[in-house]
Amino acid sequence: MTKIGASSYIWVSPFSTDRLDQLSPAKSIGFDVYEIAVENPDVIDIERVREEARRVGIDVNICGAFGETRDISSDVAEYRENGIAYIKTLVDMAEALGSPYVAGPMYAAVGRTRLATPEEKQRQTRFAADNIKALAEYAAKKNVALALEPLNRFETDFMNTVEQGLEFLELVGYDNVGFLLDTFHMNIEEKSLTGAIRMAKGKIFDFHSCANDRGTPGEDHFDWEAIREALKDAEYTGPVVIESFTPEINEIAKAVSMWRPFAQSPDKLARDGYAFLNRVFNAR
């Protein structure tokens, strides 16, 4: 039985304690997991989230949002320190909720794109690797994994492919550091989406699903049965989480190039996406 999840981004941005009313409708659709995108930890009372999750009967997992001032690979020391503190907060949240991971492109700021010189790239990689190592140790003590997300070339110049990610994981060298893979980004960057999934065998901690236009899974050109089989071959046992975006996502609309709605409504995207993924991954 594969758990099917939904990102809070489908309905709300930023998520806060005031939007805990989202958990019950997500459960009623059928979702097993509600993945909170933590844009601002200060507006989330994690104890209330845990209480509501238990009442509703849904798992709550943690994903991060990484802007310029949370860049652990930045040349600006203050930004690196902010990023480290933020990720530690996410790890604490994950521990409190029983989330097995903190996910996201935590190695750099989303939108940091340029043709870096070899010296710049080496320095950025060193900062990122050293800080991920320290964060991995912190997370391991709390039984939390770090799931790094390769992004497409328009959102980062640091890690676009599984192959690049594996090189970075080898540099880091911690078993609790692996991948969040996302069908949208992989469709842009990978020569073979299913080949890349298999290449990441044993290292996938989270999986984001959406259409090639970032909309409803199934309304696309993907071979989802092949994706299912590739995930099975890659020994992935975690949730398949729909990550799409509400039209009201003003704060990061530019980062995700959200210029138009991806469905008639967030609820329709969630219902149709859940029905499709549940059929693909769980119908026998």
Domain boundaries, the chain: 4-282
Residue 269: partners with Cβ closer than 8 Å, 6 or more residues away: 10, 215, 216, 242, 244, 262, 263
Cα–Cα distance, 257 to 251 (Å, whole number): 11
Confidence at residue 140, expressed as pLDDT on a 0 to 100 scale: 98
More reliable by pLDDT, 116 or 251: 116
C-beta separation of 186 from 134 below 8 A: no
Cα–Cα distance, 245 to 9 (Å, whole number): 5
Residue 249: is its pLDDT beyond 80?
Answer: no
Q: Is the pTM higher than 0.85?
A: yes
Using only C-alpha atoms, the chain has a radius of gyration, in whole angstroms, of 17
C-beta separation of 96 from 60 below 8 A: no
- Tokens standing for 200? 């990441």
Residue 101: is its pLDDT beyond 70?
Answer: yes
Local structure of 4: helix, strand or coil: strand
- Tokens standing for 154? 């328009």
Average pLDDT, the chain: 95
Confidence at residue 117, expressed as pLDDT on a 0 to 100 scale: 93
Cα–Cα distance, 2 to 84 (Å, whole number): 32
Query: Residue range 154-163: average pLDDT?
Result: 97
Query: Residue range 66-86: average pLDDT?
Result: 97
Residue 94: partners with Cβ closer than 8 Å, 6 or more residues away: 61, 62, 100, 101, 102, 139, 142, 144
Confidence at residue 262, expressed as pLDDT on a 0 to 100 scale: 73
What percent of the chain lies above the pLDDT cut of 90? 90
Angle at 7 between CA 222 and CA 197, to 5 degrees: 40
Confidence at residue 245, expressed as pLDDT on a 0 to 100 scale: 77
Q: State the fold for domain 4-282.
A: TIM Barrel (3.20.20)
Residue 259: is its pLDDT beyond 80?
Answer: no
Each residue's pLDDT tens digit, 181-222: 999 999 999 999 999 999 999 999 999 999 999 999 999 999
Confidence at residue 271, expressed as pLDDT on a 0 to 100 scale: 97
Confidence at residue 18, expressed as pLDDT on a 0 to 100 scale: 96
- Burial of residue 170 (CB within 10 Å: 0-12, 13-18, 19+) is exposed
Cα–Cα distance, 177 to 66 (Å, whole number): 17
Confidence at residue 22, expressed as pLDDT on a 0 to 100 scale: 95
Local structure of 131: helix, strand or coil: helix
Cα–Cα distance, 245 to 171 (Å, whole number): 33
CA of residue 75 relative to chain centroid, distance: 25
Which residues are known to be catalytic? 149, 243
How many secondary structure helices (H) and strands (E) does the chain include? Answer: 10, 8
pLDDT band at 253 (very low <50, low <70, confident <90, very high): low
Residue 247: is its pLDDT beyond 70?
Answer: no
Residue 126: is its pLDDT beyond 80?
Answer: yes
Local structure of 182: helix, strand or coil: strand
Query: Residue range 228-248: average pLDDT?
Result: 92
